[in-house]
Amino acid sequence: MSLDAGKKVYYKTMPEVVLQQATVVSTDGEIIVLDVEGKKDIAAGQQIMISSEGSQYFAEVLSFERGSVKARKTWSNSRGYFRVDDVVPLVARKVPGDPGLLVSRSFPFSEVVAPVSGEATALDVNPRVWQMLVNIHTMLGMVLERLDMETEGFKNAEKTHVNMSANGMAFRSKEPFAAGDTLEVKMLLPARPPLGVIVYGNVIRADDAGNGETEIAMHFNEMSEELRNEIIQYSLMRQREIIRSTRE
């Protein structure tokens, strides 16, 4: 991503959702200076994400004075995957010892919350009996999905701010993870239907975020193209919803 002086870019302080426009004043190695056009609530130590031409990177604010932000780049994503900010149920743990072969995967949960209606497909089936069978099938599916969520650990997930693409993600954790750790992250994405995702990746940045939390940036390990596409489609859907809600 080119950050030449005078270039217009977008930025946001984490974990905000709405992007703001800024102008690049100068870049020197890992240091970038932005004119944020009168913004007044940026403080040293905050994490910001800068976006330009489909690429993003994270930076730590070093100083802020008279609308000028001086920040140090901490992590970049130049592969161009679409990113989205969201709040999702999430639980993360460190994979102990030699991680070996870890397979990322996903599984959808149905949106069924009440018995559904149905019609008998055979003339000799009593309609009331048929409806009873449909209701039993629906409730059984709900029970099995609840068991799946508990078995996979999703019932212990806490709502967490995330910045995610099909390449990696950033989030805050109460666990003291460190750069180089291999993590298992379980998320329940509010897609249609809801999508359970279990991904593995390496921590490439872990910064003290205060209040006993750590700002984590992780890069996903190998995953199937099917799962990668599911994350991309989810990100696109959520970004459209966010943009639509801000306009209303």
Per run of 10 residues, the mean pLDDT along the chain (length 248 residues) is 80 74 88 84 83 72 90 66 80 80 73 44 58 60 50 71 88 91 88 82 90 91 79 78 69
Together in a domain, 183 and 232: yes
Is 192 a member of any domain? Answer: yes
Together in a domain, 91 and 175: yes
Together in a domain, 91 and 58: no
Together in a domain, 164 and 243: yes
Q: What is the pLDDT of residue 70?
A: 93
Taking alpha carbons only, the member of 192, 113, 212, 196 closest to residue 154 is 196
Together in a domain, 14 and 99: no
How many domains would you assign to the chain? 2
Q: Residue 56's domain spans which residues?
A: 8-77
Is 23 a member of any domain? Answer: yes
Is 123 a member of any domain? Answer: no
Is 57 a member of any domain? Answer: yes
pTM of the model: 0.54
Q: How far apart are CA 37 and CA 26, in angstroms?
A: 15
Together in a domain, 19 and 102: no
Six-digit token string for 163: 């910045």
**Which residues, other chains included, contact 120 with Cβ-Cβ below 8 Å and sequence gap of 6+?**
126, 127, 130
Together in a domain, 208 and 163: yes
Q: What is the pLDDT of residue 185?
A: 92
- Output the domain CATH number for residue 174: 2.40.10.220
Is 227 a member of any domain? Answer: yes
